[in-house]
Structure 1
Amino acid sequence: MAFALSIPLDAAQGPEFARDVCLLMAEATGLDRAQVLIEPDRRLTHEEEAKFLHLVAERRKGKSLAHVVGHVAFWNRRFRVTEDVLVPRPETETLIALALEEPFRDLLDLGTGSGVIAVTLLAECQDAVGIACDISATALAVAEGNARSHGVADRLHLEQSDWFECIGGDYDLIVSNPPYITEDAYADLAPEVLHEPRIALTPGGDGLAAYRAITAEAQTHLRPRGRLIVEIGYDQGAAVAELFREAGLDEVAVHADLDGRDRVVAGRST
């Protein structure tokens, strides 16, 4: 088999799938995408061909590209992902950028999943330490691997906990990208998203349960003037900001992502 992208594609899978075929070819061969595009006549080895066809078959099952290849790029780093964790989205970088606007000595990442938020923040802030918790032991195993890969394992403690249940201490910064999709919206998600763990996508109901749990206890775990920063759905800014205010947080603000959609709510302890 040559590099030429002659794999028959179902029309329903559309141009995104065709683009992904090129990325899967790069994954199978260990080359970058540019090399795949400029060397269409290069022949694959038997091992490369077998790996490529396996990856294409997995993508055809409706799995996300990240889950098929087992990794995703985030904040200029590569993170391992499995079907036990949410695939990090570019929009979450809005939270990272906001968190890095001020120094912090320690952080707490609630519902860490792959660990992408805590690991990225600690990698950017070499003097900081943190705790990352998740209710899922399998998610914590993925986070542990990512912490090791990026050299922050000695500064990040992982804890199995349902939000603050097993968490003590006070922090300069609490961050979270919790499940926020409503029960009604969950039914309409794309098939590839449904390969991600339901518990990481939706709490059911109106999608605000995690924010209620987080804001109810955040003040008791933040140092004076400490910050709480959470990711939200594009239409949840007003509702989550009100929960922040009801919890007594100051300087509550809704921040947009690069597409101009509400994406993060931040507040400060009194």
Structure 2
Amino acid sequence: MSIAREASARLRFLSLEITGRCQLSCPSLCYAGSGPTRGHGSMSDGDWFRTIDQAVALGAEEIQLIGGEPTLHPGFTSIAQHALDAGLRVRVYSNLFRIRDEHWRLLEQPGVRLATTYHSSVPAEHDEVTGRPGSHRATRANIVEALGRGIALNVAVLDTGDPERAERARTELEALGVRDVHVGSVRAVGNAAGTALPSTADLCGRCGDQRATVLPGGDVAVCEIGRFLTAGSVLDAGLASVLSGPRWAEASASIPRRTDPTACHPDCQPSNSDSCDPGKNDPCDPMGYAPAMTGPPAGTVPAHL
């Protein structure tokens, strides 16, 4: 591989969507179309370990474990621990519906941070979004538990067209002691897209820029939201080969880029490893989002599930 091709394959942040299974269905929001009947995909634990090692070789600093609900994957703890042992920071995006003792022990380790999505301060509204009665009670209780354990926690609140509802949720979270709350717009991807075709206008403009996502079947996408832009599989070739190949260059080039470095929150800049981080108050809206709209476009930020 030439020096130029090696440079093009550099990574800082890699998201691993280790499962499509979730206790929730989020019929109007889930960007991944996850749910109770979905599977874990065709990647074995060994495949995930190998992908993590390849990410380290490419310069990655942090991985994100996401789903579906990543804690439902039988190899979740070992996959996360492998990344920690490799010197990576680990970010877990969980719905916090049910967290086992072994998961709490993992989340309490240095180098691990936790993220979740909170849909409403009103239980019935939250449960309607998730499609599961009792999900509000469970998620709220585990938010409180995480705070009590001193776990670094970021929470995303989705503005689905009712800004006052989103602000009430933010206010409640801050009153509980959550320091990092992000109210974000939704994206026309997955369940939220309905019959509409996915569009690069719903991306933030930084996808594929020193970051990538590996989907449950091994396909490599520019990001979780941009899952319709894939460029090969880690099951067929190494991660470096995928990221330095012509298909990846073509997929990345199809994304409208932000030319003004101040137009997007620093969390979506190459200088920061994360993308579309729910832990900041300033949203990184999709390129096609117009603040003057009466309501945001349909879709979701990653990744409540």
Given the two structures, how large is their TM-score scaled by the length of structure 1? 0.32
Return the structure number with greater relative CO, CA threshold 8 A, min gap 6: 2
Say which structure is richer in helix.
1
Say which structure is richer in strand.
1
Given the two structures, how large is their TM-score scaled by the length of structure 2? 0.30
